[in-house]
């Protein structure tokens, strides 16, 4: 069974004491986690070490950086390299989130470089893709997402894509209160898997975890996660509330 993942994206929220309290509350809850059901907390850069150390004694919780630079090192004030993340034992990095694409003009080529750097240094990318409202309304979302995958990921080898993590985020459903229906989510996840199958074959495609990332909440997580091609979620606002995110974790698909 491919990995089922509850990934949190805290974005630019919480002070360190608030973050530590949230983690304390999360870890006080009972879960049925194992090698195939994991929790990843995408925390702000200043908290990676502090939160990472709190998770060291847990087996199935990890931290993720919310971004990384597309350069190895150099005069890039304010940027954080993958090598830096590796040096503080960060195992995951979110790449290509819609907010990075929209507000910071990240291109497919730039994201391909970030993916390469993450893999070079042994970090697991959580690669985001998804369409804005205008594309969804035009009915061209499948080709739009396919282009994102092809131009940022399809230079990779089958070995590199084995066990990869992709997060599908319908941009029109992020922070708007709107959510793609479970059937809409399944439809796009199935399309993504079909595209990967076409490039790398079914064995590789079946190993790829595809998370849904559009206003996942405790109230809709079970319905979304029960779909055959939905392997968990990349959760924004609901991940800032311990009771909400705990319920989402417990909604992960079981063998």
pLDDT tens profile 56-95: 989 999 999 999 999 999 999 999 999 999 999 999 999 9
Residue pair 214/238 in contact by the 8 Å Cβ criterion: no
Backbone phi and psi for residue 8, each to the nearest 5 degrees, phi listed first: -100, 140
Closest CA to 176 of 216, 137, 204, 135: 216
Residue pair 161/206 in contact by the 8 Å Cβ criterion: no
The domains of the chain are located at: 4-250
pLDDT average, residue stretch 118-136: 96
pLDDT average, residue stretch 159-176: 90
The pair of structure tokens assigned to 119 is: 């893999």
**99 tagged catalytic:** no
Q: Is the pLDDT of residue 104 over 90?
A: yes
pLDDT for the residue numbered 175: 66
The average confidence (pLDDT) of the chain is 96
Both ends of the chain: CA-CA distance in Å?
Answer: 7
pLDDT average, residue stretch 141-159: 98
Distance CA 133, CA 156 (A): 29
Q: How confident is the model at residue 174 (pLDDT cuts 50, 70, 90)?
A: confident
Q: How confident is the model at residue 215 (pLDDT cuts 50, 70, 90)?
A: confident
**189 tagged catalytic:** no
Q: What global pTM score does this model have?
A: 0.96
pLDDT for the residue numbered 203: 98
Q: What is the pLDDT of residues 7-53, one digit of tens each?
A: 999 999 999 999 999 999 999 999 999 999 999 999 999 999 999 99
Q: Is the pLDDT of residue 186 over 70?
A: yes
Q: How confident is the model at residue 177 (pLDDT cuts 50, 70, 90)?
A: low
Give the CATH H-level superfamily of domain 4-250: Aldolase class I (3.20.20.70)
Q: Which of 99, 106, 131, 169 is catalytic?
A: 169
Residue pair 164/200 in contact by the 8 Å Cβ criterion: no
Cβ atoms within 10 Å of 49's Cβ, excluding its own:
14
Q: Which of 97, 99, 131, 189 is catalytic?
A: 97
Alpha-helical (H) ranges within the chain are: 16-27, 48-55, 82-87, 98-103, 108-120, 133-138, 141-153, 158-161, 182-200, 202-207, 221-225, 242-250
């Amino acid at each position: 069974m491919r990995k089922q993942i509850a990934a949190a994206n805290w974005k630019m929220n919480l002070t360190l004491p608030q973050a530590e309290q949230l983690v304390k509350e999360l870890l006080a809850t009972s879960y049925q986690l194992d090698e195939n059901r994991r929790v990843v907390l995408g925390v702000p850069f200043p908290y990676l070490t502090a939160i990472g150390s709190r998770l060291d004694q847990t087996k199935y919780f990890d931290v993720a950086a919310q971004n990384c630079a597309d350069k190895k090192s150099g005069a890039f004030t304010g940027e954080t390299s993958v090598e830096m993340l590796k040096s503080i034992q960060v195992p995951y990095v979110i790449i290509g989130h819609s907010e990075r694409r929209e507000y910071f003009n990240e291109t497919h080529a730039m994201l391909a470089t970030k993916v390469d750097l993450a893999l070079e240094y042994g970090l697991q990318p959580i690669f985001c893709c998804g369409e804005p409202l205008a594309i969804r309304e035009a009915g061209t979302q499948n080709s739009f997402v396919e282009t994102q995958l092809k131009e940022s990921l399809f230079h990779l080898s089958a070995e590199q894509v084995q066990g990869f993590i992709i997060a599908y985020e319908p941009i029109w459903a992020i922070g708007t209160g709107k959510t793609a229906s479970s059937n809409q989510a399944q439809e796009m996840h199935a399309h993504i898997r079909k595209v990967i199958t076409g490039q790398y074959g079914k064995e590789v495609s079946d190993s790829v975890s595809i998370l849904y990332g559009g206003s996942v909440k405790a109230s809709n997580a079970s319905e979304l996660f029960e779909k055959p091609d939905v392997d968990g979620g990349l959760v924004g606002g609901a991940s800032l509330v311990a009771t909400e995110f705990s319920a989402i974790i417990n909604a992960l698909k079981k063998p």
